[in-house]
Amino acid sequence: MIACNSLSTLDVLPARNFQPTARSSFTPQEALVFLQRCANFKQMKQIHAKIIRSSLHHHQVIVARLIRLCSSYRELDYASLVFQHVENPSTFVWNLLIRTYAVNDSPRRAILLYNLMIFRGVSVDKFTFPFVMKACLAISCVEKANEVYGLAVKTGFRGDVYLDNVLIDLYMKCGVFVDALKVFDKMRYRSVVSWTTVIAGLVFNGRMDIAQKVFDKMPKRNVVSWTAMINGYAKSKKPEMAFELYTEMQRHNVKPNEYTLVALLIASAELESLELGCWVHDYAIKNGFEIGVFVGTSLIDMYSKCGSLESAKRVFEKMENKSVATWNTMITSLGVHGQGEEAIAVFEEMEKMNTKPDAITFVGVLNACLQTGNIEKGRRYFYYMVEHHGIKPIDEHYVCLFEMHSRLAKLLDLEPSGRPTS
């Protein structure tokens, strides 16, 4: 009840006293065409103003289109304003706003809106629950998810495969995989997604033993399920099993995707096998795989960990698109191989390319400063990270800073104070 009442602060309660002007000749069809051609949020607001003047703001299809556009522009408050001018929103419109909150990193607002929907006695349907469940997952609220699922069962949605899959995924990611397996065991029908969700969840929880048993029972496997297992073994204590499973996958005539190759590159790095890593790289090129962000970053990491820094640098230089993770991997790789000055140069190039660094970037940069013995530059980068980029320091940053001051103290024949000086 408290949650329902507090939702009024989110401006989602329908406004009952809105008085539109007289209707013009602007038809619903014309409004939808204009919205379909809308190029930006400013244009959308102009079209919305004409919709209000034409008394079309209650038209459910138009409202739905407006909320979808607000979601794509991440204008959540405006989506709420659109919603509040509808006298009797349909279940579809309620669902759409819940979804808008859920997919735009506002899970608590999604849950509060759902609470209000139930409190108002609005009819729910099978599309109401999944996005509320995803919102529960975002805040790791298993208790609320159980409550939502219980209502779904009571209102006649027991056995809905999609809803069961969402609940299994939530349980797995919240670490209660035993409950996830119970839901899976009770399912009357299991899709390939159901099986794959369970396998991926067990891999996530480090239970490769159970994952293998489930995988062996799987009636039909696709590249996603094979890749989930290969990825699990790549990150386990048995990375060689990743290649054994890949060989079996080939016997079943299942073609790998880029995520399969990334998993094999991780396994190669874990095995420190440059030969296997080069084979994966060669396979990717011969089979037309683009060396994009995911595969490229994994190649850089693999070559670095297998001792071939020059190969890592060649991959990095050839990549047209680089993510923050790509830059971080190259900076870290250079630092690990004792190329501190070059690592700092790559960071400076990263900033010139207007790629915003993150906390991991500066772990690499500070380590590079530590390696080169440039304590003063390391101090400057630490404060630059905080003041210019607004990044909150993590333990690794303080460890680097402490080590810098310890080395400086030794050079000055002083005992380290244990605290970085200002």
Is residue 124 within 8 A of residue 114, CB to CB? The reply is: no
DSSP class of 154: I
Q: What is the pTM (predicted TM-score) of this model?
A: 0.78
**What is the structure's pLDDT at 409?**
67
Structure tokens at 388: 């210019």
- 181-206: per-residue pLDDT in tens? 999 999 989 999 999 999 999 999 99
pLDDT at 91 exceeding the cut of 70 = yes
φ, ψ at 340 (rounded to 5°)? -60, -45
DSSP string, 209-264: HHHHHHHHH-SS--HHHHHHHHHHHHTSS-THHHHHHHHHHHHTTPPP-HHHHHHH
Lowest mean pLDDT across 120-129, 333-342, 397-406:
397-406
Start-to-end CA distance of the chain, whole Å, equals 50
CA distance 113 to 99: 10
Centre a 10 Å sphere on the Cβ of residue 48 and count the other Cβ atoms it contains.
Answer: 24
**What is the structure's pLDDT at 21?**
45
Q: Which residues of 140-174 are buried (b: 16+ CB within 10 A; e: fewer)?
A: ebbebbeebbebbeeeebeebeebbbbbbbbbbbb
Residue 382 to residues 325, 403, 407, Cα–Cα distance (Å): 20, 13, 17
Is residue 66 within 8 A of residue 36, CB to CB? The reply is: no
Is residue 316 within 8 A of residue 330, CB to CB? The reply is: yes
CA distance 218 to 158: 23
- At a CB cut-off of 8 Å and minimum separation 6, what does 126 contact? 152, 157, 160, 162, 163
**What is the structure's pLDDT at 23?**
45
Is residue 73 within 8 A of residue 41, CB to CB? The reply is: yes
Lowest mean pLDDT across 259-263, 393-397, 409-413:
409-413
Structure tokens at 235: 């990150």
CA quadruple 98, 99, 102, 104: dihedral, nearest 10: -120
**What is the structure's pLDDT at 126?**
87
Is residue 195 within 8 A of residue 214, CB to CB? The reply is: yes
CA distance 405 to 422: 11
pLDDT at 150 exceeding the cut of 80 = yes
- 201-236: per-residue pLDDT in tens? 999 999 999 999 999 999 999 999 999 999 999 999
- At a CB cut-off of 8 Å and minimum separation 6, what does 193 contact? 161, 165
Closest C-alpha to 9, from 67, 82, 84: 84
